Structure 1
Amino acid sequence: MRTALRSHVGKVRQVNEDQAWSGLLGDGLTAAIVADGMGGHRAGDVASGLAVDSLVASLQAWKPDEPNADKTELLREWIRKANEVVFETASLNEQYHNMGTTVVLALIEGNNGWIGHIGDSRAYRFRDGSLSQLTDDHTLVNELTKSGQLSPEEAAHHPRRNVLTRALGTDRDVEVDVQAIDWRSGDRLILCSDGLSGLVEQQKLLEALEERNANLETQAEKLISLALDAGGDDNVTVVLVADDGADGATGGVTA
């Protein structure tokens, strides 16, 4: 398994409020996280940083010696713990009032994977020349689209398309969406903030991933470039996870 992580502040923002991490946990487990913070006076990057730090601590403290452990419940527990950390920090510090963050967390083990998320940071799976969106955005516009009040075309340009209906850290309790997925050799997983998915059409994402002879790092750079070429009006972060039969991973936290 290999991972590649790239992040860019974009062409408009002064601070990168995205945070991400990827790495190998041992015993064949690979994990990846993307969080996109929100809040004024640098509170967004505080929220995303706290969330990623909490999730990484949970991942690294977990001992995968229980093969029958329910991974969906583990992801839900870890994300709820991160929610508590962000919420309590905001409650105790006036300058961080109402800060929050999106989060998407992926865990891959053998032929299985698990995705947990809150907000509109996304997970996609590239398989056999097709790209599928795995997560469902927790946004007002997505709710209006699902109810038939907006068409997909109207949603793409709606002035409130970035309004979240659910975020990590803004409330004491939060609902977490968790799902199990199957995983095959040759698959690629893409986690990203809306700085990518909100600016770049899915077909262009697919074309970037289909480029022959491009390594994982090159593909991650290409995806960042697509967002910047599309205007770059938000921070943009992407983590790629690939099962190409090779060992090794690169990872880290973006700031």
Structure 2
Amino acid sequence: MRVDFATDTGAVRSSNQDACKCGLFPGGGAWTVVCDGMGGANGGNVASAIAVESIEELLRSGYRENMSPGNIKSMIINAIYRANGAIYERALKARELQGMGTTAVVMLAVAGRLHVAHVGDSRAYLKNSGGIRQLTMDHSYVQDLVNFGQITKEEARTHPRRNIITRVLGVHEGVKVDYAVWDFAAGDIALACTDGLTNYMDEDLLEEYINRHSGDGGALAKELIKFALKCGGSDNITIAVVNNI
């Protein structure tokens, strides 16, 4: 197992409100956390930082070799719940941070399975022998429009209200987390990213980049950032890659 990530402020923003951490577990397995903060420059930075640190702490302390899939699911979801509570409580104590929040997508790969949990519009993708597929569904206003058949996925990418998120960590005392588990065989690649990339890139093009850099997740992440910057880089860009090698 190999895990890599890269992040960039982009060409327009003055600060990077994205945050990412990743690592390997003893005995095999990999994990990543990707967050995209919101709520003003200070609030977004704080919310995403709290989220990745809180989630990392619980994953590192809670993971054990040969955990059952059910226990892994509980660990991941509880980590996100705890991050939500930490952000919410911090905002209650500082008026300038009130309303801050962050997306979160967590991937944990172990024993031929990929566990994915998310809140917000940061995404996870899986590339295997059958092609590429998006594993998460955005919690966003434009995704609701797509679901109701009012706009297409292509129109959603440039819709003027595409930044409206319908579910986020830290704004409310509780949060609902979407979770799923997928087969993750040798040679498969999982990728998590913020909308600084997906606002510019469709699945077909993403698959081309993955195929071109399938053996080097670090190079893949850097090349995807270069592409987003070339397209305008209007937001922060973060990509994490897990290679099952």
TM category, shorter: over 0.9
Question: What does residue range 80-229 of structure 1 map to in structure 2 within 5 Å?
Answer: 80-128=81-129, 130-211=131-212, 215-229=216-230
**TM-score, normalised on structure 2?**
0.95
Letter of the 1:8 partner, please give it: D
Distance 2:187 2:41 in 1: 42
| Alignment correspondent of 1:249 | none
Gaps of 5+ in 1: 245-255
Distance 2:158 2:63 in 1: 45
Q: Note the aligned Cα RMSD (angstroms).
A: 1.5
* Structure 1 residue 117 displacement after superposition: 0.3
CA contact (8 A) 1:10 1:234 kept: yes
Gaps of 5+ in 2: none
| Alignment correspondent of 1:14 | 14
* Structure 1 residue 63 displacement after superposition: 4.2
* Structure 1 residue 142 displacement after superposition: 0.3
| Alignment correspondent of 1:252 | none
What is the SS of the residue equivalent to 2:185? coil
What is the SS of the residue equivalent to 2:108? strand
For the structure 1 residues 153 and 212, does the alpha-carbon distance in structure 2 shift closer, same or farther, using more than 3 Å as the test? closer
Distance 2:237 2:98 in 1: 24
Seq. identity, %? 36
What is the SS of the residue equivalent to 1:241? strand
For the structure 1 residues 65 and 225, does the alpha-carbon distance in structure 2 shift closer, same or farther, using more than 3 Å as the test? closer
What is the SS of the residue equivalent to 1:42? helix
Q: Does 1:4 align with 2:7?
A: no
Letter of the 2:185 partner, please give it: R
CA contact (8 A) 1:18 1:235 kept: yes
Distance 2:202 2:114 in 1: 25
Pick the structure with more helix per residue. 2
Q: Which protein has greater RCO, CA pairs closer than 8 Å, 6+ apart?
A: 1
Letter of the 2:31 partner, please give it: A
Letter of the 2:48 partner, please give it: S
| Alignment correspondent of 1:241 | 242
Letter of the 2:19 partner, please give it: Q
For the structure 1 residues 205 and 16, does the alpha-carbon distance in structure 2 shift closer, same or farther, using more than 3 Å as the test? same
| Alignment correspondent of 1:75 | 76
What is the SS of the residue equivalent to 1:150? coil
Distance 2:125 2:180 in 1: 13
Letter of the 2:7 partner, please give it: S
For the structure 1 residues 22 and 201, does the alpha-carbon distance in structure 2 shift closer, same or farther, using more than 3 Å as the test? same
**TM-score, normalised on structure 1?**
0.92
Distance 1:80 1:18 in 2: 19
Letter of the 2:110 partner, please give it: E
What is the SS of the residue equivalent to 1:5? strand
| Alignment correspondent of 1:47 | 47
Letter of the 1:230 partner, please give it: C
1:183-222 Cα offsets, whole Å, 9 max, x none, are 1000000000000011122222111111167622211111
Distance 1:167 1:11 in 2: 25
What is the SS of the residue equivalent to 1:26? coil
What is the SS of the residue equivalent to 2:25? strand
For the structure 1 residues 205 and 65, does the alpha-carbon distance in structure 2 shift closer, same or farther, using more than 3 Å as the test? closer
